[in-house]
Amino acid sequence: MSDRLRIALQKKGRLADDSFALLKACGLRFAIRGGGLLARVKNMPIDLLLVRDDDIPSFVSNDAADIGIVGENVLVEEQLTGELDATIAMRLGFSRCRLCLAAPDGGTVKSKTDLSGTRIATTYPGVTRRFLSDSGIDAKLVEMKGAVELAPSIGVAESICDLVSSGATLEANGLSAFETILKSEAVLIRSSRELSAAKTELLDKLLRRIEGVIKSSETKYIMLNAPKSQVAAITNLLPGSDAPTVMPLAGNDELVAVQAVCTENVFWETLEDLKALGARAILVLPIEKMMS
């Protein structure tokens, strides 16, 4: 293969847009046009291989790509059902979902203890089988390629094992999840093959940048005015912050300005708690880039 680092990505779907956005935030410049299998990154020796998500683990394993971005659910399923040389190099935090067992509301299956002797429809036979054997449950798998949520209503299975994010699809089909068997997020995967020195250097650089992008998306800069007497209590409330900067305010002896970098999400509840301690003029600002 050439000395351009090749990254396998989902061409279109629930992973695609966030994968493209992540790489763009890392400074890669590229354009995705309909149809093409390969997109060239203009400002770095990187090519993007645009494929179906299910093919990404095996492409990485078989050297068609050096690394890939795929749902952990797909990676684990492929690891369990085939010979695969691909493991997680970094968790990416987007495309979060759960692989769940679900059954019709008011039906015979209400929990995993009701599963023995029943049929479970799924597109994830590997992960489902592992769960059943770990739990000592003897049930029959009905493998489907899609539309698993319809299986109970057409009478091919008593329950399903499928991906859930908001639960809206389950609800629309009169189903309720009763057991989570895998939690998933997008992951960056690679094989155990050694890369050339140039590719190794490029991959390290990319991983550091991805870390920076993920960290800065969760990190906020918080600014507020606070009564001097409450600075300690207020600092305690700031999520994941080191010692804040505390500065006097011109012409005001009671209040000081407090500024801090918070490395965890700042929720409305935190702001309400800060206000209750006397904090005023609270600003939460995004941080665009970070490197430590």
- Interacting residue ranges for ligand ATP, rule: CB under 6 A: 10, 13-15, 52-54, 71, 73-74, 95, 97, 163, 165, 184
Closest CB 88 distance from Zn ion, rounded Å: 18
Q: Does 85 bind Zn ion (CB under 5 A)?
A: no
Residue 77 neighbours by CB distance under 10 Å: 24
What is the C-alpha separation between 139 and 131, in angstroms, rounded?
11
Q: What does the radius of gyration of the chain's CA atoms come to, in whole angstroms?
A: 24
CB-based closest residue to ligand ATP: 71
Closest CB 74 distance from ligand ATP, rounded Å: 5
DSSP state of 237: H
Q: Does 77 bind Zn ion (CB under 5 A)?
A: no
Backbone phi, then psi, for 282, in 5-degree steps?
A: -85, 125
Amino acid at 25: A
DSSP state of 241: -
Nearer to Zn ion, 53 or 72 (CB): 53
Closest CB 276 distance from ligand ATP, rounded Å: 37
22 binds, among ligand ATP, Zn ion, none (CB under 5 to 8 A by kind): none
Residue 34 neighbours by CB distance under 10 Å: 6
Site string for Zn ion, 36-75 (x = CB under 5 A): -----------------xx---------------------
- Distance linking the first and last C-alpha atoms of the chain: 34
Name the residue among 268, 272, 275 with its Cα closest to residue 220: 268
95 binds, among ligand ATP, Zn ion, none (CB under 5 to 8 A by kind): ligand ATP
| Residues at the contact surface with Zn ion, assessed by CB under 5 A | 53-54
